Amino acid sequence: MSTYNENIRKVTTLHLREMKQTGEKISMLTAYDYSMAKIIDEAGMDVILVGDSAANVMAGYTTTLPMTIEQMIYHAQSVVRATKRAMVLADMPFGTCSGNPEKSLEYAICIMKETGVDGLKIEGGEEIIADIRKIVDAGIPVMGHLGLMPQSINKYGSYGIRAKGNEEAAKLLKDAQLLEEAGCIGVVLEKIPAQLAKEVTEKISVPTIGIGAGAHTDGQVLVMQDMLGINKDFAPKFLRRYADLHTVITEAVGNYIKDVKENTFPNEKESY
């Protein structure tokens, strides 16, 4: 059996809604460059997210805050060039959607025009709902992002689980409903209790995509470097590693170094 729906030539917002209705889970993974996006797309991923986690895994920053709009455009252009089937979403970087709807729309249009992505992901709820409405009303698909919002790390002070208490959980549910009303195509729920994610998933009509939010969301998202085991230092409970590329790459590079030092590479067949 195929792991994905081969009848879909290009995943659209309509497909995401249908998947929620039929119970087909939505697969989503991050990518930031052409080569990896091509592999991920050809494997049948439904959604590729050009996350601002690029600031961490591509650039080595400790937070996502330094990511600029120019850097996001560069990564998103590379991913779009590689992708045929998957829907491609780009994150709006920190500071580009923060309570000034006109300005936020300008940034959103800039990313859409420069990159050709299919939509945007935006962190935040009620506080930026006017910005999100403005962007959606301009015809741009928006995926919301609630729970742990890495762009707000300085406000939280930690990357711990969010919405464990009743008050924060109630706000999160209300925010999800506001995002649905504003016309969002879905909502990412990051690092929240599975029971709360289930409740949100049942109460809104648009898909929820979880990361560290249990099994009841309509789909799952992971950061590519984490699930492929490239990034050894990051091992939260929610992460499942599907490969150990750190070891594979280390061994391959070690063998290459050895062959060069011993002058066994290149051999005659590998020479002109």
Q: Which is nearer to ligand KIV, 95 or 266 (CB)?
A: 95
- 19, 27, 75, 91: residue in contact with ligand KIV (rule CB under 6 A): 91
- 53, 78, 208, 231: residue in contact with ligand KIV (rule CB under 6 A): 53
Task: State whether residue 222 is helix, strand or coil.
Answer: strand
Which residues, 107 to 136, sit near ligand KIV by CB under 6 A?
none
Measured over the CA atoms of residue 216, residue 172, residue 234 and residue 71, the dihedral's sign is positive
Q: Which is nearer to ligand KIV, 236 or 254 (CB)?
A: 236
Provide the minimum distance between the beta carbon of 12 and ligand KIV in the complex, in angstroms, as a whole number. Answer: 20
Task: State whether residue 209 is helix, strand or coil.
Answer: strand
Is residue 190 flagged as an active site residue? Answer: yes
Q: Which is nearer to ligand KIV, 49 or 184 (CB)?
A: 49
Q: What are the helix (H) ranges across the chain?
A: 13-22, 34-42, 54-57, 69-82, 101-115, 129-137, 153-156, 166-182, 194-203, 224-227, 245-261
- 213, 221, 227, 245: residue in contact with ligand KIV (rule CB under 6 A): 221
Site string for ligand KIV, 15-34 (x = CB under 6 A): ---------------x----
Task: State whether residue 121 is helix, strand or coil.
Answer: strand
Asked if 53 and 29 count as a contact pair (C-beta separation under 8 A), the reply is: no
Provide the minimum distance between the beta carbon of 260 and ligand KIV in the complex, in angstroms, as a whole number. Answer: 36
Q: Which is nearer to ligand KIV, 95 or 254 (CB)?
A: 95
Which residues, 138 to 197, sit near ligand KIV by CB under 6 A?
188, 190
Of all residues in the shown chain, the one whose CB is closest to ligand KIV is 51
Q: Say whether residue 223 binds ligand KIV (CB under 6 A).
A: yes
Asked if 93 and 53 count as a contact pair (C-beta separation under 8 A), the reply is: no
Can you tell me which residue has the tokens 């650039």? 59
Number of residues that bind ligand KIV (CB under 6 A): 11
CA distance 131 to 117: 19
Provide the minimum distance between the beta carbon of 117 and ligand KIV in the complex, in angstroms, as a whole number. Answer: 14
Lookup: tokens for 42: 């050809």
Can you tell me which residue has the tokens 């300085």? 154
Catalytic residue among 190, 199, 262, 270: 190
CA distance 196 to 163: 8
The single-letter code of the amino acid at 2 is S
Q: Say whether residue 104 binds ligand KIV (CB under 6 A).
A: no
- 72, 132, 143, 211: residue in contact with ligand KIV (rule CB under 6 A): 211
Interface residues toward ligand KIV, by CB under 6 A: 30, 49, 51-53, 91, 188, 190, 211, 221, 223
**Known catalytic residues?**
190
